[in-house]
Structure 1
Amino acid sequence: MKDSPKDSEQYLQKRAFYDSLLTIYGRKPVLEALEDLSLPVHKLHLADSNRRDQLIARIEQLATERKVEIAHWDRKGLSRISKNARQDQGVALDLALPHYGTTDAFLREQSAAAGQKNYELLALDGITNPQNLGMIIRSACAGGMDGIILPRKGCAQIDPLVIKASTGTLFKMRLLRCEQLAPALADFAAQGVRICGLSSHAQQTLSSLGGDAPTIFVLGNETRGVSDEVAKQCTQHLRIPMHNDVESLNVAVTAALISFRHQR
């Protein structure tokens, strides 16, 4: 849902705060997040049915020491927060990450900025493998990309497997959420952003792309590639030259090549 021009500044600030909350779940990921004092924690959620074992006791102790609010729920209530009743292990944690938000907020920020910055983003279209998602985040963070657009529909969501595969870089990377990717890309294109789809059939190569405009690189599904709906939003297509009859690369490898192509 887009913000109305009539929305008050107070409402927008409150909404921006809640948009910045990343909810993680699972006992080990939550424990590790609480142990990392650099991560701003908003609220701990626990199921009433939890057996108070050593892990739960340690999680509660850390939350108390950090003066984090603890909320107790029945199993249904907790599952509404974690959105994964089968794997949350009765624990969820809200992290208030300043670089976690929405594409709408990012576009407002760019519109308000003095002068246009030539930022580069990755946009993920149907990336369903958590391991790939985690490795993409890791490469984008290490390579200095300005953010990753992650739709809520059609892509793997943040879970313990993604956190593990990202080796903690998920908490450092700017993640921009949207409901569906194609409409979000259309909003960026309307602001003059280049939308580049990766395709093995493209004429233009990745290395030939100049750096004179804000750019989004769209990475498609591990087997099907970029969807037709998203491909229609691409203003150009790029390919990575390959030898020895190799037809395609793993999507996480492609993300790494894009992210590091300016490095020397």
Structure 2
Amino acid sequence: MSEQGYADKRAYFDRMLTLYGRKPALEALRDKALECHALHLAHSNREGGIVGELINAAEQRGIPVQRHSREELARISRNGKQDQGVALDVICPAFQSVGGYLDTLDSARPQRLLALDGITNPQNLGMIVRSAAAGDIDGLLWARKGNAAPGPLVVKASAGTLYRAPVLTCPELPGALEQCQRHGFDVCTLESSAQTDLFAYQPQRHCVFVLGNETDGVSSKVSRLAQQKLSIPMNNGVESLNVAVTASLIAYAGRIERG
């Protein structure tokens, strides 16, 4: 395979989201707007009922059905306890690796990214995805290490916008942030003790806004990388906001910055 062919193949698989569970897979298969790569089934599944519906839906759309041992299926789904013997590869057109995004970065237009630093609640993740897709965010930096996986609970909480969201994947967040810094990004963390107001901050360069863990906030490793620390003004003794609400404020603060 040529170097370009390898790059194209890798970019294709970077756009792939693997769902698990029978009902989420069936809903995705029935959505003609979604491109599906393959349906994966465990040999142990009985052919009737919803499994039969899955097979029929895949065959009607010309989507390959691949059979696996229970152990192989668990490796594909990455959640053997909850996958119900079913996984489905969905192609999400706006997904890409952070490296691929940076290689084609439009340096003329300041970019605004959201980064996830230990967000483990799928409900929060889904709402963050929805805000990022709806608001003024150019990419959602999603590290596989430390964050919840983009599974069916996240899809549900995002109201399906996960399939269209500009997700940038990476193995772990600190290394990805350092990559961004080398491409001219400032790293901004949201911390309650920061003196600079989010709404007064007007970045002159590309910017990554980091959302920390629901309980512990931004990790120390990421905090040390930050060039700017921001806070959200609070009244009436309120100490903090839900991380998904914070994401919404960041997403729409960009409308003010960009006019």
TM-score (norm 1): 0.93
Q: Which residue of 2 aligns with 1:4?
A: none
Counting only pairs closer than 5 Å after superposition, residues 103-114 of structure 1 correspond to structure 2 as 103-110=98-105, 113=106
1:174 aligns with 2:166: yes
Q: Which amino acid aligns with 1:13?
A: D
Shift of 1:216: 0.8
Which ranges in structure 1 are unaligned for 5 or more consecutive residues? 1-6
Identity %: 47
| 1:25-83 deviation per Cα after TM superposition (whole angstroms, max 9, x unaligned) | 11111111111111111111011111223211111111111100110111011111001
Q: Counterpart in 2 of 1:165?
A: 157
Do the aligned partners of 2:112 and 2:136 also contact (CA within 8 Å) in 1? no
Q: Which residue of 2 aligns with 1:85?
A: 80
Shift of 1:263: 4.6
C-alpha distance in 2 between matches for 1:181 and 1:236: 17
Aligned match of 1:58 in 53, 64, 67? 53
1:26 partner letter: G
1:60-79 mapped onto 2 (5 Å cutoff): 60-79=55-74
State the SS of the aligned residue for 2:81: coil
Partners of 1:117 and 1:35 lie apart in 2 by 38
Does the 8 Å CA contact 2:137/2:254 hold for their aligned counterparts?
A: no
Structure 1 counterpart of 2:45, which letter? N
Q: Shift of residue 261 of structure 1?
A: 2.1
Q: What is the CA-CA distance between 1:116 and the residue it aligns to?
A: 2.6
Aligned residue type for 1:175 = V
1:206 aligned onto 2:201: no
Which region of structure 1 is more displaced relative to structure 2, 203-212 or 131-140?
203-212
How far apart are residue 202 of structure 1 and its match? Answer: 0.8
SS in 2 for 1:58: helix
Amino acid at match of 2:71: K
Mapped to 2, the partners of 1:203 and 1:80 lie a distance apart of: 46
Relative to structure 2, which stretch is displaced further, 135-144 or 73-82?
135-144
Root-mean-square deviation (Å): 1.4
Matches within 5 A, 1:125-136: 125-136=117-128
- Give the equivalent residue in structure 1 for 2:176: 184
Distance 1:76 1:193, change over 3 A: same
**TM-score, structure 2 normalization:** 0.95
Partner of 1:221: 213
Provide structure 2 residue ranges, at least 5 long, that are not aligned to the other structure. none
Q: Does 1:9 align with 2:11?
A: no
* Aligned equivalent of 1:121: 113
